[in-house]
Amino acid sequence: MNPQKTLLVVYHTMTGGTAQMAQAAAEGAREEPGVQVRLLRATEAGPDDVLGADGYLFATPENLAAIAGLMKDFFDRCYYPVLDRINGRPYALLVCAGSDGQNAVRQVDRIATGWRLKSVAPAIIVCTHAQTPEAILRPKQIGEADLAQCRELGAALAAGMALGVY
């Protein structure tokens, strides 16, 4: 029997959309026996949390065609302390975007490549179509179909970790 695995879910949110996505993914992952799920805001997570996990799920809004600044801060604080110490571990990505989210995906994928992480699924991008200052700053409500996709991704990542697939 495999020892218990730890999935670290790191997220940032300002309007609640990304938090809903991260929480849904964590819910899905928690259904897998043998996987402990740690759900942390980017401001709370540090190198020890990254080193203590066997897999990762990153969740970020896309702000101004980039990952959120506090998510970038998490990566900046953790990048060098864990470099070459987490090679080959699995990760997945959730992006809450107002338009397309693609640049945020590219940015996280480049960071994950530097860390030599293994992408285990295509990123899930939920587009809120928020394009005005009022819509961008308004609290978000992510639809059930999108949350179901996030739950499925969390469950799949946790199952693969529990089975030793990655």
What does the pLDDT look like over 10-40, one tens digit per residue? 999 999 999 999 999 999 999 999 999 999 9
Q: Report residue 109 CA to chain centroid gap.
A: 11
Instruction: For residue range 40-62, list pLDDT tens digits in order.
Output: 999 999 999 999 999 999 999 99
| pLDDT value for 3 | 79
For residue 29, what is the enclosing H or E element? helix 17-30
Task: Check pLDDT > 60 for residue 92.
Answer: yes
CB distance 143 to 16 below 8 Å: no
Q: What is the chain's mean pLDDT, rounded? A: 96
pLDDT interval class at 111 (50, 70, 90): very high
Task: Check pLDDT > 90 for residue 76.
Answer: yes
Give percent of the chain above pLDDT 90. 96
CB distance 137 to 15 below 8 Å: yes
Give domain 5-163's CATH architecture: 3-Layer(aba) Sandwich (3.40)
